[in-house]
Structure 1
Amino acid sequence: MKKVLIPAAVLCGFPVFSYAADYPEFNFNVLSVMATGNSKADPILGTGTSDKNLTTYQFEHFSTFKYGDIYLDAEVYKGDDVGGEGAASGGSGKSSQSLLVANPRLSLGKMTGKSFAYGPVTDVSLIARWEDASYADFRSRNYGLSLNFDVPGFVYFESGLLRRTTNYNDPNWLWRSYLISKPWEIAGQQFNFTLLSLINGTDHNGTEYFTRPEVLWHVDKAGSFQLGVRVETHHYDIGGDRYGRISPNIIFKWFM
């Protein structure tokens, strides 16, 4: 397998390859801090605060290994009575809440040494997503297939369908997507766009939509420090009504 080592800070600039065997290797960590003044009550996620002010601290790890890659995410939400406003059954307010996510993938191309490229698809992976949250002691286990795509304008484009099981719902489905745009330049400054999208079925809340688009300015030339906006959106049914929120955050990222 061809090995392409990538500096952590320039992930957004890594080249896209056609085959899994040529997929670049990387290992990096990201520390982020963000703040919003519009963290309204969210009965499912429990990130709402009494005054709508919320500070989030996030640590992310993303790396490849011989047979695939792994993404780890740890988030801490700080504020006044986090999760107390509009708490769902089993939820309660605290000065902080937390979320842990593990997202390993096994590449069929890497494991077999064969190409699974077809059209825009560059590889197929077995994927797992495990979520543990402090709010309402939420747990979920998700397993399925994930596809990597070669899409113009993007350096990373992944989407997959998983079978979802939680401690609040019968087995259902999850459509997960993550993408990173190629950097673009405005007045000599570098910017890029990222998106996490989670869409899943539920027993009592209809189809749940959660998105995290970001627009980021590369503060330094290498992109080790990035400043921008993350707009978190969440929509679902509850109590016969349609719940929705849009929470813009100012975010600062340090690629280590």
Structure 2
Amino acid sequence: MKSILCGLALAGGVLASAQASAGEWLQWQSNSLTYLWGKDFAVDPETQQTFTFEHADSWKYGDNFLFVDSIHYQGKKSASAGNSTLYGEFSPRLSASKVFGQPFAYGPVSDVLLAMTYEFGEGDVESYLIGPGFDLKVPGFDYFQLNFYKRYTDGPRAGDNVWQITPVFSYTVPMGKSDVLIDGYIDWVIGNDANDHGDYHANLHVNPQIKYDLGKALSLGEKQLYVGIEYDYWKDKYGIKDTPYFDTNQNTASLLVKVFF
């Protein structure tokens, strides 16, 4: 466990140092480590604990988001599952407003972007996503993004050449001397049950975190230490159609501790 945390922290430090060396190109950055524990997961082993490194930044021509999950299975395991696995996503976006030096905004749209995502992990899990993205001004929200992707996969992996719609959001609720932060994303993948890479059913993944700013409540500094839960609802997980014989609908929550550095 210590080696995992050290590895994730080292990766974050290297990335942060590389970004900082860009000088005026980097506008802001954020790095964090999260620990999750939960059960009642579908398809994969039911009980899991996860260590997550996250990085987000805004730079001269766009923004980036990266996360890497180290997932550890506990208890009952499927025949194909080992004790752990790695999974991550890198999502760079290029801003039309920043690239062309003039605002691309109209009504609730505050910016237009070229959105991309690279999904990676152990085994045959590579996917490449590209499409238009929009930053929206939604009252009350800290930010609200709406990205439209065309998905492309390598090799025999299902889900090639289908569309995905991904809202990303953050909302802060004041509570006493601290705040509750609700942030996360929704992935709605439009399936293609007869594509060239095998059956792939439409699926919906709703994954918000509900976190209390414990650091602010204890006067240790705001936006540094959070506790809460991560809710995970996934209908037809991995594009596998739910049946009476194989449950692929996931509805669970994990305990969460998150530290920013």
Would the TM-score normalized by the shorter structure come out above 0.5?
yes
Distance 1:160 1:79 in 2: 31
TM-score of the aligned structures, taking structure 2 as reference length: 0.78
Give the corresponding residue for 1:199: 188
Counterpart residue number, 1:124: 112
Distance 1:206 1:188, change over 3 A: same
The equivalent residue for 1:133 is: 121
Structure 2: distance between partners of 1:192 and 1:138: 31
Aligned to 2:229: 229
Q: 1:226–1:253: 8 Å Cα contact kept in structure 2?
A: yes
Q: How many residues align?
A: 217
Distance 1:120 1:72 in 2: 26
1:103 corresponds to which of 60, 75, 91: 91
**Distance apart, 1:150 and its partner CA:** 0.8
Cα distance in 1 for partners of 2:145, 2:69 equals 22
Alignment partners' CA distance in 2, 1:61 and 1:113: 26
Aligned equivalents of 1:37 and 1:80: distance in 2? 9
> Percent identity between the aligned chains?
23
**What corresponds to 1:54 in structure 2?**
48
Change (3 A) 1:197 1:165: same
Higher helix share: 2
Question: In the TM superposition, what is the alpha-carbon distance from 1:25 to its structure 2 partner?
Answer: 3.1
Match of 2:8 in 1: none
**1:184-233 Cα deviation digits (max 9, x unpaired):** 22232311111211111233242111111111100112120000111111
| Contact residue 81 and residue 93 of structure 1 kept, 8 A | no
Q: Secondary structure at the match of 2:97?
A: helix
RMSD: 1.9
The letter of the residue matching 2:58 is: T
TM-score by length of 1: 0.79
- 2:27, 2:100 → 1: CA distance? 18
SS state at 1:175 partner: strand
CA distance in structure 2 between the partners assigned to 1:164 and 1:192 by the alignment: 30
Map of 1:20 onto structure 2: none
AA aligned opposite 1:190 = D
Q: Quick one: which of 27, 30, 52 aligns to 1:28?
A: 30
Asked if structure 2 preserves the Cα contact closer than 8 Å seen for 1:81 and 1:94, the reply is no
Q: Which runs of 5+ in 2 are unaligned?
A: 1-25, 193-198, 217-221
Higher relative contact order (CA 8 A, sep 6+): 1
Query: Aligned in 2, Cα 1:239/1:53: closer, same or farther, shift over 3 Å?
Result: closer
Contact kept, 8 Å, 1:36 with 1:249, in 2: the verdict is yes
Structure 1 stretches of at least 4 aligned residues deviating more than 3 Å after TM superposition: 237-240
Q: Give secondary structure in 2 for the equivalent of 1:25.
A: strand
**Any unmatched runs of 5+ in structure 1?**
1-23, 43-47
Q: State the Cα distance separating 1:247 from its structure 2 match.
A: 1.7
Which of 30, 40, 43 is matched with 1:38 structurally?
A: 40
Query: What is the rounded CA distance, in whole Å, between the counterparts of 2:41 and 2:191 in structure 1?
Result: 23
Measured in 2, the distance between the counterparts of 1:240 and 1:69 equals 36
